Amino acid sequence: MEKTKAFLSQNKKIMMVVSLIVVALVVFLVGFMFLSGNSREKELTQMLEDMGREFYEEYYYDGLNKTESEKEEFFKKYEKQGIKINLKNLSRYNSKVNEKKIKEFVNPKTNESCDLDSSMVYIYPKKDYGKKDYDIKVQLVCGFDDNEKEEKKN
């Protein structure tokens, strides 16, 4: 006991530095764990947005066999209500590529798959109604937010 007291009294500065390093390390690890959940949510949201953009630009827009004026008239109807495509339907488009992506839509905390019916993109065509003239909104339902679970129950 005497040796421990002597060691501690002689090395107070070293013990304080070590204690501060341990506390900083714990704070860093807790912060990293908290942020990694948010980064996965952002990553999945971006992936869903990218899939929606690709669907709209490469399939939906190009697939319309209409003249430019007919396309303008057609897209004008969806300017406010938007064009909705859920994750399940996005998986069917370009299925070889998107099938792999869909498997990544899992909440890492709960290990549950995202809701393929409720997770979707909303595409709002806007004036000029060209291939890239639109706004996009993403709704990701993966249980990252407790409010999502409440909405799902109702």
Name the token pair of 143. Answer: 């249980």
- Percent of the chain's residues with pLDDT above 70: 84
Interior/surface letters 11-24, b for 16+ CB within 10 angstroms, e for the rest: eeeeeeeeeeeeee
Contact 143, 107 (CB under 8 A): yes
Q: Is the pLDDT of residue 153 over 90?
A: no
Contact 140, 119 (CB under 8 A): yes
Q: Which of 122, 128, 134, 141 is CA-nearest to residue 52?
A: 122
Instruction: Read off the pLDDT of each residue in 118-130 and give the average, rounded to a whole number.
Output: 94
Element (H, E) at 85: strand 83-86
Number of other CB atoms surrounding residue 70 within 10 Å = 11
More confident call, 149 vs 131: 131
26-30, 67-71, 102-106, 150-154: range with lowest mean pLDDT? 150-154
Q: Give the pLDDT band of residue 29 (cuts 50, 70, 90).
A: low
DSSP 52-72: HHHIIIIIIHHH----HHHHH
Q: Give the pLDDT band of residue 152 (cuts 50, 70, 90).
A: very low
Per-residue pLDDT tens over the stretch 69-101? 899 999 999 999 999 999 999 988 888 888 888
> pTM of the prediction?
0.68
- In sequence order, the 6+-apart residues with CB closer than 8 A to the CB of 81 are none
Distance CA 28, CA 25 (A): 5
| DSSP state for residue 105 in the 8-state scheme | -
Sheet bearing 120-125, strands edge to edge: 83-86, 120-125, 134-139
Q: What is the pLDDT of residue 150?
A: 39
Contact 99, 61 (CB under 8 A): no
